[in-house]
Amino acid sequence: MAFDNKDFLDTNSEWISLMVPAKLNIYLQAGKAREDGYHDLTTVYQAIALYDKLTIMLPKPRTGLTITIRGEGSDTIPTDGRNLVIKAAQVLANKAGIEPVACFELIKSIPSEAGLGGGSADAAATLVGCNILWKLGLHQNDLAAIGAQIGEDVPFLIKGMMAIGVGHKQPLVGVAAGAHMWHWVLGILEAGLLTKDVFRKFDELKYDNADELAYEDRHVRCLQVGWGSISPDLLAGLLSNDLEAAASALLPQILSALDAGRVEGALAGIMTGSGSTCAFLARDHEHAESLASVLHTAGIFRSVMVTNGPVEGVRIMTQSGT
């Protein structure tokens, strides 16, 4: 295995290197804010082949938590306790009753503030990697429960593939994956959005109490859809995101960007998560490449990339002693 930064590793120390995918919300239904401040949510997750890489090393002497970050948007990502890698390590150590000790090197490919779950992905990789290095022996379900304390998307990104989220700290509903591969073109806009700002705008746009029955009806219908077993082109009409209007009110470019992809022949176009990434569903890889080329030439997006899903969640690339 060739490492991106050999200087980071002390070959006399224990270490592990992992990769973790981004996520798309191919369906996101939002309800009104509850008394605890969280919103009712029903969302269909899909893990996609866009990866951050995290290497974790037990330093000698063993003192504290440190992180270095390279790659996509690294100059804007904090390296203190606000970073979800550091936070995840601290939460896991507290749960295990141990003193947290680790050096992290994070190589980013997943854009931040883009609705792709980059921070949550890094937290998921941290939980899996530290569980192994610290020899805690926790089951994947235990890590998912801990991850739910850190971020809504963390439990899903530990496992990956496809699943349905049904609310704050609620267990994921499994989605049986079929043989279908979904091909996507991602359009990354210049500006990102903070999740809290999007939900604040969503609340300002009003959610009527009269809509509660409609929310429950849509929730039940979502659970009945064969998201993993039906051909993606047949599901294109079901893809939607209730946060799109709120995000577009904050960043109007989202609407014009989505329109551009649809005009150029995407099967469907949706904003993922709380934005601002636009995801366009293609028929196959060739269609995705062609669509990406057109959108790149149009100059609408800061970055355009082709990807696919579903893929597995956190994966071990290599580790010391192997």
Q: How many CB atoms neighbour CB 4 within 10 A? A: 12
Q: Tell me the backbone φ, ψ of residue 187, rounded to 5 degrees.
A: -110, 115
Residues with catalytic function = 23, 153
67, 165, 250, 254 from 300: Cα distances, Å: 34, 31, 17, 10
> Among candidates 119, 106, 114, 223, which has minimal Cα distance to 166?
223
Secondary structure class of 160 (helix, strand, coil): strand
State the Cα–Cα distance between residues 55 and 103, nearest whole angstrom.
8
Element (H, E) at 186: strand 182-188
Pairing of strands 173-174, 182-188: unpaired
- Positive or negative torsion for Cα 223, 224, 227, 232: negative
Residue that is written with structure tokens 């490492």 in the block:
3
